[in-house]
Amino acid sequence: MHERVGRIETLHDKHNRQAFDCGTESLNRYLKEQAAQDMKRQIGVTHVAVSVDDPSSLVGYYTLAMASVSPGTLPEKRWPGQMPLPVVLLGRLAVDLIYKGCGVGEYLLMDALARSERVAHSEVGAVAVVVDALPAAVGFYRKYGFQRLPDDDLHLYLPMSAIHKLGLND
């Protein structure tokens, strides 16, 4: 991890969203124009890694929301009933171009997984973390154990049991 990367906190008005550039316009636009609105509407919560040098400067971000998938979507278990299964949606994850290759993506992902596991075991329940990956990010998620769901090559998941084995909350 780069020594200029600080802690992860919830997005707030003091953060300089306009200076963020990850190189993908849809991810930049979401952070700059939509993330705060989604938080106000309780659609998703955006967490940001800030710079040690300037806590208003954003190094990267991710957004979490609750979602569901049909029981037949997750292939490794037989789930009772036909009720949708609760999952945590990792809606977006992006790193500013200045910090690419410094381990920030992994830092953000591990924080998102740890946070998801804590919530799943103590607050709301969830059986997996799912992500609708951009094509360029599939390899990144696969490196950490995410598997393809049968409905779409870009729809990936990591079971909560696999996240638990990472020991992120020990």
Task: Show which residues are catalytic.
Answer: 141
Helical (H) or strand (E) element with 112: helix 104-122
Burial class (CB in 10 A: 0-12, 13-18, 19+), 167: exposed
The answer to whether 86 and 66 are in contact (CB under 8 A) is yes
Residues 6+ apart with CB under 8 A from 138: 153, 154, 156
